Amino acid sequence: MHTMIQEASNDYDIDDGIYFRKEDLVGPKGGELSALQVRQMICDAAQDDRFKKAPEVLKNCVRVYYNEGYHIDLPSYRRVIERNPWTGQEEKKYELASADWKTSDPRAVTDWFKRQNKALSPDFEESEGQFLRVVKLLKAFARSRTSWKGQIATGFMITKLTSDNFVKYAGRDDESLIRTCKAIESRLQTQKLITHPTLNENINREEDGRPEFFRLQLEEKLAHLDILNDPECTHAQAMAAWDKFFASDWFAKQPEPEGKKAFAEALGAPSAAVQKQGGGRYGKRFG
């Protein structure tokens, strides 16, 4: 999906699924391996004395910890072939080795995401897609404070929320990001459940507090960007606002464009849109 972000501490994760045919997952006596047994089998195969922290079995995967700080999750899937009772045709489905075998197909999610990116991005033909970039920016926001870890919405939740509430804005990723953030915050005020994009189920449960925590942080940090609506907002003020939003120092290091034309080009907008008279807006285009 190309939406992975790298955290400053290198504590980012990569998912690398392992697929088996159901008929191959049998024990020495021919009995079907349970979901736990398959995860244990993968964990045994991943052991290596070079790891400072040994791989371990988790609920939905085996996690391999690398000495550099990141980790790789190894979810295991089995391919099940069933015959459709109505058509007589063979159909493939995939099940994840979780607490039990659970219907799941990450490749279907990837296909869904690619369709959404193409359909929602106003610039898909010329770039990787505005929708994809906004997803990455929102994931970066969610991982911008170490104190939020474990409390805030997961990357998958954020991806689906962005899809459900995306506001495109041709040529202006900053406008798209702000408007999408506001749409997500508004939506989460009344609906906390997030539907799965390819399965007839929800990603989270009603009692899951992570979406609400995400909403509260959006509500609080969006206030830092109010200065962008001020016709007298300066470059330094705009960059400081974005740094506060993302808890970064990257924006403050960006040079101010020279002249109205260069300024407009930097924003990806016509020069008339950046005049300080008449409610012009000093934003920063991400790209």
Average of per-residue pLDDT across 202-215: 96
Average of per-residue pLDDT across 43-48: 97
pLDDT, averaged across the chain: 88
Give the span between the Cα atoms of 223 and 143, in whole angstroms: 18
pLDDT at 272: 34
Tell me: pLDDT of 65 over 60.
yes
Average of per-residue pLDDT across 207-223: 97
pLDDT at 89: 87
Treating both helix axes as pointing N-terminal to C-terminal, what angle do 155-165 and 106-120 enclose, rounded to 10 degrees? 30
Average of per-residue pLDDT across 242-266: 77
69 versus 161: which is more confidently predicted? 161
pLDDT at 240: 95
pLDDT at 281: 41
pLDDT at 1: 86
pLDDT at 8: 66
In 3D space, the residue among 156, 212, 152, 151 whose CA is nearest the CA of residue 187 turns out to be: 212
Tell me: pLDDT of 129 over 60.
yes
266 versus 272: which is more confidently predicted? 266
For residue range 163-203, what is the model confidence (pLDDT) as tens digits?
Answer: 999 999 999 999 999 999 999 999 999 999 999 999 989 99
Confidence band (pLDDT; 50, 70, 90) for 267? very low
Neighbours of 219 (CB within 10 A): 15
pLDDT at 245: 97
Q: How far is CA 80 from CA 20, 41, 111, 255, in A?
A: 9, 19, 20, 56
pLDDT at 83: 86
For residue range 66-110, what is the model confidence (pLDDT) as tens digits?
Answer: 998 888 999 999 999 988 888 888 889 999 999 999 999 888 999
For residue range 17-27, what is the model confidence (pLDDT) as tens digits?
Answer: 999 999 999 99
Average of per-residue pLDDT across 48-54: 96
Q: Are 222 and 214 within 8 A, CB to CB?
A: no
Task: Name the pTM for this structure.
Answer: 0.81
Cα dihedral: 268, 273, 276, 278 (round 10): -160
What is the residue whose two structure tokens read 């296909």?
Answer: 111
Give the span between the Cα atoms of 219 and 240, in whole angstroms: 18
